[in-house]
Structure 1
Amino acid sequence: MTPTMKAAVLTGPRAFAVQEVERPEPGTGEVRVRLEGCGVCASNLTPWEGPEWMQFPTPPGDLGHEGWGRIEAVGPDVDGLAVGDRVAALSYKSYAEADVAKADMVVKLPPELDGKPFPGEPLGCAFNIFRRSDIKPGQTVAIVGIGFLGAVLCQLASDAGAKVIAISRRPESLDLARRFGAAETVPMDDHWKIIERVKEIAGEGLCERVIECVGKQWPLDLSTELVGFGGKLIVAGYHQDGPRQVNMQTWNWKGIDVINAHERDPEVQLQGVREAVEAVASGRLDPEPLYTRGYRLDDLGKALDDTRDKPGAFVKALVELA
């Protein structure tokens, strides 16, 4: 095994380089994973654009947090894991050939997933959001924004017995939502027209659950309008580009619960990944149609730009590392 590895380093706004860097050594309670791939998360896009708070250059591999691969080294005081185990890792410098993770922050992948990509972090995120949404059979659930996360949530909500209304900007996204179980689709174009269309589908009582998956002001406003009295508004979009305004009068008047579905408890994050592993391994969920294409590490810039621009039927980029 070589003492060095290749890793991506962001050198400035929308600029990066692949560098040869020292291969990290696992410390106590850690493992090193030889990465097979890493998903590209939309949360990377703001740092990629280079806001004033961003510092360059980034640490090698930084921003990559959706990695999977095989353990190639085990640090002291690690039980239950061995070299060669295939795992999904909750680690944070995975735009590289290898990354170090805490041993209690990896999930073993069963043989049923051999040879298949498995970005555990976003899949686990979807399962945790679904759990927080408390969806019941017979409810009407609107999902605002259909990308990777929204599509998975369409299937989970539909499988739970809900009637899913998918709302998204691109026709390709609405087609995808239908494939993943949405009963109805609504183009995300005109604010008031969307509300009237949802009323036609769900009735004047609107939706018991609305999941906002975009992370922008207008979808949040729209989601507020679509949730019915006593319902739940679930914020799944990652709002990282500045403050938001909320219609507190409407929230109060409707008596709704507002749920921030972003989990920071490591145990809860792992629970979602484990649930995702079981669902994909058993065949209950097939996320592979959502992996639009693979990119080499030296094509990371293209992967990030495509994640932003969503050309054609693009859904999710995977950086292939092995």
Structure 2
Amino acid sequence: MNITTTMRAATLSAPQTIRIDELALPEPGEGKVRLKIEGCGVCASNLGPWSGPEWLQYPGEPGGMGHEGWGVIEAVGEGVDGFAPGDRVAALSYNSYATHDIADADKVVKLPPELADQPFPGEPLGCAFNIFRRADIQAGQTVAIVGIGFLGALLTRLATDAGARVIAISRRDFSLEVAREFGAAETIPMTDHTKIIETVKELTGGKFCERVIEAVGKQWPLDLAGELTAERGKLIIAGYHQDGPRQVNMWLWNWRGIDVINAHERDPQVYMDGIREAVDAVASGRLDPSPLYTHRYKLDELAQALDATRDRPMGFLKAIIEP
């Protein structure tokens, strides 16, 4: 029997440069588990460090940036109850661009047999459920979703299933087709600012949308999202705004009396609640994210995966790293 004593991890060694390190296999401390990673989703939040900002120190931590991992528990530390080697889990851990990672036992969720052999990047799936909860979407509402990538497509499905009418707005024809497949009632190309506003105004009888979810993370989509929000509606910021300060049309926001919700969760236990909801939804067949995992890469191809996440080639929605 071969006993593994080392692991491999991708390290951001310099701007837009990944190296693969071989390291000693860590032992889980008290209250922790060691995972053998099956896969890790690539998050748009990685693009800031990948670009090489002046404030970031290099090299980064081995496996760093990877926080969408899932895999099999290989070892448990002292004081861990309810988990055992062999359990397949999704984890909220932070060094999963690697063959192995250490996670707190209370940041791990078991994956049931119904999900066997399926990819399960728990963090972004849970994020979608937490955004949906905070958006307070109700049956009969009109919901505009600005930006249809992995997150926007999931939210389209959740909002449609809740009985809302979804207007999906995206710059790519491919993404609009995905939105239709995930239940969008209307799709609008994200090309001309004024034309989009006029189209949504016409579709809503001049009232605009009770809920608008901005899922891009850029200035123009944020501006557009505010314009599409109805009086006393809710504007939900789900896009990851990482490239500097934003300006907002406070006159418009104030005049319409809209509620602005920053849907980026920072409470780890709320994150975990979202992951558990996602596990239940996918295991029951209520949600099928599998068509959204469009690109797969090996660990030593992480640089290509990050470039694809930035450049979004034709047909791209979500990259997964499979060590």
TM-score range for the pair, normalised by the shorter chain length: over 0.9
Could you tell me the TM-score, scaled by structure 2's length? 0.98
Q: Quick one: distance in 2 between partners of 1:313 and 1:203?
A: 34
Moved over 4 A (4+): none
Which of 63, 73, 98 lines up with 2:100 in the alignment?
98
Partners of 2:4 and 2:63 in 1: CA distance? 17
Deviations 1:58-100 (A, max 9, x none): 1100000000000001001111010000000000000000000
2:252 corresponds to 1:259: no
Equivalent residue letter for 1:189 = T
Matched, 1:219 2:235: no
TM-aligned CA deviation for residue 4 of structure 1:
1.2
Match of 1:73 in 2: 75
Q: Distance in 1 between matches of 2:122 and 2:102?
A: 16
In 2, distance between residues paired with 1:30 and 1:135? 37
Shift of 1:141: 0.1
The whole-number CA distance in structure 1 between the counterparts of 2:205 and 2:301 is 47
- Aligned counterpart for 1:157 among listed residues 152, 155, 159: 159
Aligned residues: percent identity?
A: 70
Q: Secondary structure at the match of 2:132?
A: helix
Report SS of the residue matched to 1:182: coil
Distance in 2 (alpha carbons) for counterparts of 1:294 and 1:239: 25
Tell me the alpha carbon deviations over residues 257-312 of structure 1, each in whole angstroms, 9 at most, x when there is no partner: 00001111111100100000000000000000000021000100000011111111
Question: 1:191: which partner in 2?
Answer: 193
Aligned partner of 1:12 in structure 2 is 14
C-alpha distance in 1, partners of 2:320/2:151?
15
* 2:26 aligned residue: 24
Aligned match of 2:180: 178
Name the TM-score, length of structure 1 as normaliser. 0.99
Instruction: State the match for 1:89 in structure 2.
Output: 91
How far, CA to CA, are the matches of 2:25 and 2:226 in structure 1?
Answer: 48
Segment of structure 1 superposing worse, 309-318 or 138-147: 309-318
Equivalent residue letter for 1:283 = G
Distance 1:27 1:182 in 2: 47
| 1:240 aligned partner | 242
Q: Distance between the aligned counterparts of 2:76 and 2:186, measured in 1?
A: 49
Kindly provide the amino acid, as one letter, of the partner of residue 257 in structure 1.
D
Q: What's the counterpart of residue 138 of structure 1?
A: 140
2: distance between equivalents of 1:15 and 1:191? 37
Unaligned runs of 5+ in 1: none
The letter for the 1-side match of 2:77 is G
Provide, for residues 107-166 of structure 1, a one-character-per-residue CA deviation record: whole Å limited to 9, x for no partner: 000000001100000000000000000000000000000000000000000000000000
Q: CA deviation at 1:106?
A: 0.5
Instruction: Give deviations 1:13-53, integer Å, cap 9, x for gaps.
Output: 11111110122221110001100000000110111010101
Counterparts of 1:53 and 1:82, CA distance in 2: 40
Q: Distance in 1 between matches of 2:234 and 2:48?
A: 28
Alignment correspondent of 1:3: 5
RMSD of aligned residue pairs (Cα, Å): 0.6
1:294 to 290, 296, 302: 296
Aligned residues: 321
Match of 1:284 among 254, 277, 286: 286
Q: Determine the C-alpha separation between the residues in 2 that align with 1:210 and 1:34.
A: 39
Supply the distance in 2 between the matched residues of 1:272 and 1:53 (Cα, whole angstroms): 32
Please give the alpha-carbon distance, in whole angstroms, between the structure 2 residues aligned to 1:244 and 1:25. Answer: 43
After TM superposition, give the deviation of residue 3 of structure 1 in Å: 1.9
Gaps of 5+ in 2: none
Equivalent-residue separation in structure 1 for 2:127 and 2:26 (angstroms) = 27
Residue identity opposite 2:21 in structure 1: Q
> How much does 1:187 deviate?
0.5
